Amino acid sequence: MSRSRRVIASLGAVTLLLVIPVASHAATPADQAVAADAVAWIGTQQQPDGGFEVAGFPGFETRDASLAIAEQAQTGASWSASEATDALAALEFGGAGGPTPLDALDAYAASLVPGGQPTSQAGAAAKTIALSAQPLGLDPAAFDAAGDGSPVDLTALLDGECDLLTFSDVLWGMIAGVTVCDTAPDEAVSAVVAAQQADGGWAFNGDPTASGFDGDTTGLAVQALIAAGVEGDAPVITAALRLAALDQAPDGGWFDFFGTASNPSTTAIVAIGIAAAGFDPTVACWRDTVAPELAGAAYVDPIAWLRSQQAPDGHITSPYDEFGVNTLTTSQSVHAILMNWFPVSPSAAQTCEVPPPPPDVVPATPITAVTPRFTG
């Protein structure tokens, strides 16, 4: 679908300005190829319970890995929960009749009920709704991924003590379209806005007096606010994207808060946040809009950088692979490379101002782009 192009000439002005409505990233053939290889590698990491907890921490990898598999399985112009479910059901550990990722998701949800594993139940339930129940088309009040007749009411787990919840739990609750800590939606939005740092970012613990770019938390906060109805051009969003623009590494990625090299997981979360705000992260116009002093500087596409991090075996490399390779970085990279589930409820496409062409030079072809296939 081509984007419309308008040439605006103000009265008495001699400068022309191209104003381009910008769509979020849409996967290219190169993206699809990288995602296919990445998901094939994820499949090789399946564990005996059907899940993907390679690192051995329940809830750390399986939900993201399962969503990546579901994303890569999509074939149509809109999200298909049945295609997502079928792709997961087909991964039977050890052969026909073996445990599938659906069994692992089911078991994890069951572990969240009273008497299960110690965890932030509200946060775990909210993230499970966002990553598993919604894309699989399952009722979060009767989550039964395995279809074994033993559903779990994830919504009943959302009421927790706020001082036991992490800031990311609150953000996942907003992305899932639910509230935690018994707060109304407007109160939740106000709390996240109040937690914003003076420089535009968010700290992992929601401390507004902190500083520095925590891309994982900031990207997630942008997604959460927009999912909750904040517009992509709101000052709170623009300030966050400006910090992201100023902190983007020369290779196109973003460091995590502790890293000394660009981290694909962080880069994926930031890129999805940019798309949530109605921009296409693969081109510089989002950066030039929120940080105009950078206009004209070289720009490296973060999605292209993610693709470049694929190892020969298919996994997306992480700065922490030396401590043991797990599936999370690869799964989160697939989320950003395909962007056919995330971002959920993205803002309307933003308008970018592109510098005018030189005098007497007219672009030879219209500026076109494609809209994302899915909105989540």
Tens digit of pLDDT for each residue in 323-368?
999 999 999 999 999 999 999 999 999 987 655 444 444 433 333 3
pLDDT band, very low/low/confident/very high, at 11 (cuts 50, 70, 90): very low
Position 96 scores a pLDDT of 96
Mean pLDDT of 103-108: 98
pLDDT-derived band at 22 (thresholds 50, 70, 90) equals: very low
Quote the CA–CA distance of 168 and 170 in Å, as a whole number. Answer: 5
The pLDDT value given to residue 166: 81
User: What pLDDT is attached to residue 185?
Assistant: 84
User: What is the value of pTM for the model shown?
Assistant: 0.87
Q: 12 lies in a domain? A: no
Whole-number pLDDT of residue 257: 85
Q: Domain range for residue 142?
A: 24-349
- For residues 172 and 153, give the distance between their C-alpha atoms in angstroms, rounded to a whole number: 17
Contacts of 307 (CB under 8 A, 6+ apart): 30, 31, 34, 337
Q: Any bridge partners for residue 75, and if so which?
A: none
pLDDT for residue 178: 87
- Percentage, residues of the chain above pLDDT 90: 74
Residue 370 has pLDDT above 50, yes or no: no
User: Which is more confident, 229 or 163?
Assistant: 229
Residue 64 to residue 240: CA distance in whole angstroms: 25
Please report, for the domain that includes residue 180, its CATH number.
1.50.10.20
Instruction: Specify if 227 maps to a domain.
Output: yes
Q: Which of 216-220, 252-256, 257-261 has the lowest mean pLDDT?
A: 257-261
Average pLDDT value over all residues in the chain: 86
The predicted pLDDT at position 358 comes to 45
pLDDT band at 123 (very low <50, low <70, confident <90, very high): confident
What gap in Å lies between CA 107 and CA 51, rounded to an integer?
10
Other CB atoms within 10 Å distance of the CB of residue 274: 30
| Radius of gyration of the chain from its Cα atoms, rounded to whole angstroms | 21
Whether 375 is covered by a domain: the verdict is no
**Does any domain span residue 144?**
yes
Whether 291 maps to a domain, the answer reads yes
Q: Classify 168 as helix, strand or coil.
A: helix
Confidence grade of residue 15 (pLDDT, cut at 50, 70, 90): very low
Per-residue model confidence (pLDDT) at position 6: 20
Identify whether 344 is part of a domain: yes
Q: What span, in angstroms and rounded, lies between the C-alpha atoms of 317 and 333?
A: 10
At residue 21, the pLDDT reads: 36
In sequence order, which residues have a C-beta less than 8 Å from that of residue 124 and are 6 or more positions away?
A: 59, 112, 157, 169
Q: Is residue 36 part of a domain?
A: yes
φ, ψ of residue 179 to 5 degrees: the values are -115, 155
In a domain, 202, yes or no: yes
CB atoms closer than 10 angstroms to residue 231: 15
The number of domains in the chain is 1
| Cβ–Cβ < 8 Å for 105, 66 | yes
pLDDT of residue 25: 65
Kindly tell me if the per-residue pLDDT of 113 is higher than 90: no
